[in-house]
Structure 1
Amino acid sequence: MTTDTSAAAPAAAPGAPAVDLFSQEFAADPFPVHDRLRRSAPVHHDPVTRLWLVSRDEDIRQVLREPSTYRNDNALGSVLPLRLPALRILDRAGFKTLPPALFNNSGDTHPVLRGPVLKLFGAQRVRAALPMIERVTHEELDLMAAGLDATGRHDFARGPARTIPVRVMLEMLGVPEAARADIATIADWTDAFITLFWGRTDKDEQRRLAQLVGEFYIWLCDLAARPDAPDDSLLGALARVRMPDGSPVPPEVAVAVCSNLMVAGHVTTSQMISTAAYRALEHTGRWRALGREPGLAEAWTEETLRREPSLTAWRRVTSRPVTLGGVDLPEGAELLLLFTAAGTDPEAFEEPERICPMREGGRAHLGFGLGRHRCPGAELARAEGRVVLAAASERFPDLRLATEERPPFLELVSFRAPTRLEVEHAPRPAEPRRSPPQ
């Protein structure tokens, strides 16, 4: 899976900032670079990835509203070419490329496949799933409490923020108990998937990641081949779908749909929860308020999605010559839509750098995309965010960051969140000593 483009590499715009999309410096604090891009080169060619970086909210919305001009066929290809050893490992697992399904499909099969997914993650299904989400959350918070009691510290990003979305997604997809892999293993698989295809890794690391991705693909193939898929599960729904030519959904397409949803349902939700928790924990009062003030956890989740979405950027490719942001692009130009830059665009949001949970029009951001390819699991992610943040704050009101050092962030092109979030109980103030009775 490699990225190719027919557009010739142009010279950098005068005054355009140098951008290293894979650096820790950029991952930890992308906002200054985004600001410079919006002001000096809102449609900027990156020579490393050969992608056109689109940073203004207005331009990104234009792209998302015109899916026939800006297609998503390139969305799931590897950002940088994979080396031969990794490709061989993937080939042995039977994984060559994902066919068009949800996130890389601009053809006539897209609405056919998207239909059952929208029903699966519709508002009514999400409301019905709330008791399950709450149960899973409290079970994982019990494990966190045990960890805090045993060692005094706990990694929130590797703990509840990571495991809850996996468990919820397995329930929502209707995966039979007998077919479920270990939760930590599934999380490792999906993390490996995004790192292999959206990261900058050396040959040895690519081999390790490819092995995990191959295991993930084999598990998905076995899952799709099971004859006992419940009627109300995703695979049960896909079995009833007919493609535009009247044929059933091919097995490899069903696998691709499941892959899209497992990766997105775990990775982006986990990262959203980790980032939201981190920003709240930076100030003790903020964290404590999430469990006490009705509606605040929901509003805090929404602001996180605007200012620091876990899906930081997504790709498109032009189907014809077009002008975007004053820049002429040829057919086949590959774009990277910088959603984080759009969410902090001062032309779109007042005081965009400020976290303002009660912001007017708080949902008018691009954290879930826009238009035909808007994230079908948006309401489920929102529900998980508000349930987990409120429950964790209520259960651990005196939680604090265990270190003043900034946590490490993912160094991937399209995903961003703290990879570790060490927390501990804040020491309670000593009670004043009482004078003995006279």
Structure 2
Amino acid sequence: MIIPAGGSPLPDTCAGLVGSHDSAVGSTAHPAPRPPGHLDHLDLFGDDFVRAPYPWLELLRTAAPVHHDSGTGLWLVSRHRDVRQVLLDPAVFRPDNAQDAVTPLPVAALRSLARAGFALPPALANNSTDSHAGLRQVVTRFFSPRRVAAFVPVMERIADELLLSVRGRLDTDGTCDVFASFAQLLPCRVLMELLGIEGVAPATLIRWSDASLELFWGNPSSRRQAELAALVGEFYTWLSATVEAGTAAPDSLIGTLARHRLPDGERLDTKVAVSVCFFVLIAGQSTTGQLITTVLRGALTEPGLWQRVAHEAGLAEGWVEETLRREPPVTTWRRVTAQPVRLGGAELPAGARLLLMLMGTGSDPEVFDEPEKMCPHRPNARRHLAFGVGDHRCPGASLARTEAVVALRAAARVLPHVQLADSSTEPPMLGLLSFRAPLHLAVTG
């Protein structure tokens, strides 16, 4: 649920973003990069793809909508209709591999995880068993639209507190990285209050979460994998101890999981409860922080938007939705075929590992007119697949949308004259297999 905008109906075209002003309306999100090479040269972790994915995604959709990538061994599924088909049929396209390490872990990393007792049994994103529906229901209750809407004052309080600190740093130093000081911290602190998480500093939880993303979805060196595994082990040890302590408030997520019964009437195994929390704590703050950073950077780049977004009804919601369509923080997701199947003209064997190009589906011209343009009043913007669809649709979609809207409005209100420190230079990008966002957002003003 997006926070209700109120007011009159929004225009149904790209026009109308900045009213009668002469700013660039419905601007292109990025300058046109050079055309990609042959698909055999595609490197999903390479700088060419991470910085300029759209030409590659277009080439995939038009030349090979279901393409076998020799570098990863994954089948890349890029058309909106094909990705939607996969997501709506979890019996044939199973989620079992969704959280597997993309890059095989070396012995040193495996030993480090083993010492922590690390295990992620099927729980949410990787669960194709009959326990999934009940576990998902538990988690969804904490992120329901009604609960999220009631939590907006908490989000606004935390946002204002963090932005006042940003304002102070700008006054003192002249510049500030809004990614580290605001976009990352806001969803982490909100999630901790929403779920009743205590006993850990937000900075520590962010560090653990980022390490988990890089270890399981990145392509780090063996030495780096060992370093990341140590941090992930710390995260898992703390999380296990927190779940096993039995001291969580009954109405907290951990307390609710402790009372949860499986379809056969048995209590939930502790490791499954830890697996649920592991996924929720990462998805609920890291990916939302990435979304907020992308939303803010785009809004600061779009002529005329920043000055109006804090007060114009529906504009913040529309900008967030277009960002989710065009530049979602979760760019891909994985599935594995349970049986031989035909998809997008390709014959796939049982056990084929798929990579669903979620980011590319938001730019599919079969679904979205002028997909390269950011149109906050686009009538069908929410047909994007940034949160998935079907039984495994992201349970935190309402929270992510609402936090991004709150963050954008608050930042534009508290920092009305802020500008990008260097708008001519692209920031370093997080370039994991399934996650993409700016890693810095330096501003002045």
Q: TM-score, normalised by structure 2?
A: 0.90
Alignment map for 1:61-72 (pairs within 5 Å): 61-72=84-95
| Contact 1:17–1:33, Cα closer than 8 Å, also in 2 | no
Task: Report SS of the residue matched to 2:329.
Answer: coil
**Residue of structure 2 in register with 1:361 after alignment:** 380
Q: Number of matched residues?
A: 408
| Contact 2:214–2:432, Cα closer than 8 Å, also in 1 | yes
| Contact 1:284–1:400, Cα closer than 8 Å, also in 2 | no
Higher mean alpha-carbon deviation, 306-315 vs 144-153, is at 144-153
Give the C-alpha shift of residue 225 in structure 1: 1.5
Alignment map for 1:168-183 (pairs within 5 Å): 168-175=190-197, 177=198, 179=199, 181-183=200-202
Runs of 4+ that moved beyond 2 A? 14-18
| Contact 2:431–2:437, Cα closer than 8 Å, also in 1 | no
Task: Report SS of the residue matched to 2:443.
Answer: strand
Identify the match of residue 63 of structure 2 among 40, 61, 74.
40
| Contact 1:80–1:198, Cα closer than 8 Å, also in 2 | yes
Alignment map for 1:30-429 (pairs within 5 Å): 30-95=53-118, 97-175=119-197, 177=198, 179=199, 181-403=200-422, 404-425=424-445
**Residue of structure 1 in register with 2:10 after alignment:** none
Of all paired residues, the percent bearing the same amino acid is: 49
RMSD: 1.2
Residue 27 in structure 1 maps to residue 47 in structure 2: no
Q: TM-score, normalised by structure 1?
A: 0.91
The one-letter code sitting in structure 1 at the alignment partner of 2:430 is: L
Higher mean alpha-carbon deviation, 354-363 vs 289-298, is at 289-298
**Residue of structure 2 in register with 1:434 after alignment:** none
CA deviations 1:264-320 (Å, max 9, x no partner) are 001110111011111111135222222131221111111100001000000000000
Give the C-alpha shift of residue 214 in structure 1: 0.8
Rounded Cα–Cα distance in structure 2 between residues aligned with 1:259 and 1:163: 18
Task: Report SS of the residue matched to 1:258.
Answer: helix
Rounded Cα–Cα distance in structure 1 between residues aligned with 2:281 and 2:244: 17
Task: Report SS of the residue matched to 2:433.
Answer: coil
The one-letter code sitting in structure 2 at the alignment partner of 1:406 is: E
Rounded Cα–Cα distance in structure 2 between residues aligned with 1:88 and 1:228: 30
Unmatched tracts of structure 1, length 5 or more: 1-13, 426-438
The one-letter code sitting in structure 2 at the alignment partner of 1:37 is: L
Give the C-alpha shift of residue 362 in structure 1: 2.0
| Contact 1:408–1:419, Cα closer than 8 Å, also in 2 | yes
Rounded Cα–Cα distance in structure 2 between residues aligned with 1:217 and 1:340: 30
Rounded Cα–Cα distance in structure 2 between residues aligned with 1:294 and 1:223: 42
Residues 246 and 332 (structure 1 numbering): CA distance in 2 closer, same or farther, change over 3 Å?
same
The one-letter code sitting in structure 2 at the alignment partner of 1:420 is: H
Rounded Cα–Cα distance in structure 1 between residues aligned with 2:73 and 2:444: 43
Unmatched tracts of structure 2, length 5 or more: 1-36
Give the C-alpha shift of residue 147 in structure 1: 1.5
Give the C-alpha shift of residue 158 in structure 1: 1.4
Task: Report SS of the residue matched to 2:434.
Answer: coil
Task: Report SS of the residue matched to 1:286.
Answer: coil
Give the C-alpha shift of residue 18 in structure 1: 2.4
Rounded Cα–Cα distance in structure 1 between residues aligned with 2:123 and 2:157: 32
Task: Return the index of the structure with the highest Cα Rg.
Answer: 1
**Residue of structure 2 in register with 1:435 after alignment:** none
**Residue of structure 1 in register with 2:18 after alignment:** none
**Residue of structure 1 in register with 2:16 after alignment:** none
| Contact 2:97–2:334, Cα closer than 8 Å, also in 1 | yes
Rounded Cα–Cα distance in structure 1 between residues aligned with 2:278 and 2:263: 22
Higher relative contact order (CA 8 A, sep 6+): 2
Rounded Cα–Cα distance in structure 2 between residues aligned with 1:221 and 1:174: 16
CA deviations 1:346-379 (Å, max 9, x no partner) are 1110000100000002211101100000000110
Give the C-alpha shift of residue 423 in structure 1: 0.7
Rounded Cα–Cα distance in structure 1 between residues aligned with 2:308 and 2:365: 28
Rounded Cα–Cα distance in structure 2 between residues aligned with 1:198 and 1:165: 21
